[in-house]
A and B are shown apart, each in its own frame.
Chain A
Amino acid sequence: QLQLQESGPGLVKPSETLSLTCTVSGGSISSRGYYWGWIRQPPGKGPEWIGYIFYSGGTYYHPSLKSRVTISVDTSKSQFSLSLTSVTAADTAVYYCARRDSGSDAFDMWGQGTMVTVSS
């Protein structure tokens, strides 16, 4: 059974860089039929898509976050990562990693999520 697990600091200072890693187990991150993405959910609000990456490295980002976001993949470790620069309190959210099926375009598997708070 495929599982995704987020890891990283739960507290980041304003203006610094938020860095998270998602480890994929029980399946191959190099499967051609899937993209690997990040989605965040501020407290009490709906999800917001951040971006996703194909195993070969092709990336797609939310237009409003594109200048601050980098998603990378390390197939040897079965991991993909999120870097979000110049964070503010508005970036406080639960961050989820998820798998997007390229056939349906739906996010069919999600990690449990990790809460990241931006505060000094």
Chain B
Amino acid sequence: QSVLTQPPSVSGAPGQRVTISCTGSSSNIGAPYDVHWYQQLPGTAPKLLIYGNSNRPSGVPDRFSGSKSGTSASLAITGLQADDEADYYCQSYDSSLSVVFGGGTKLTVL
């Protein structure tokens, strides 16, 4: 089981807004360590989408946003597009001296 808990799947129609949650504990997200989000398109390596809870790397559209509160974090995607269909992973650090990832959420664009 992953240290960070994500819903296995979410879905939405083109143009809609979806959110993906990432739940941790007082030893990681609540410690408080930063949360980062990655997008993994089928057959490719993960790509950094959000770093430091809410910051977008250069080139990432502002349709993607992140937030954090307490022991949880969320990724929001607005104006859903077909090519947003991918797996999304959250990542943080744990007081057990380990980088930790969520189990991933598969986004389906209906």
Contact = CB atoms under 8 A, between A and B. Distances in A.
Interface of A: 45-49, 60, 62-63, 96, 101, 104-108, 110-113
Interface stretch (B9-17, B23-31, B43-51, B76-84): B43-51
Interface string B35-54: 01010000011111001100
23 contacts: A46-B2, A46-B89, A46-B101, A46-B103, A47-B38, A47-B91, A48-B101, A49-B98, A49-B99, A60-B97, A63-B97, A96-B45, A96-B46, A101-B51, A105-B33, A105-B93, A106-B52, A108-B48, A108-B57, A110-B46, A111-B45, A112-B44, A112-B45
Secondary structure at chain A's binding surface: helix, strand, loop or mixed? loop
A95 B11 CA distance: 29
Interface of B: 2, 33-34, 36, 38, 44-48, 51-52, 55, 57, 89, 91, 93, 96-104
Interface centre among A47, A48, A107, A112 (most CB of B within 10 A): A47
Nearest to B105: A46
B15 to A, nearest CB: 28
Contacts of A101: 51
B53 to A, nearest CB: 10
Nearest to A112: B45
B100 A49 contact: yes
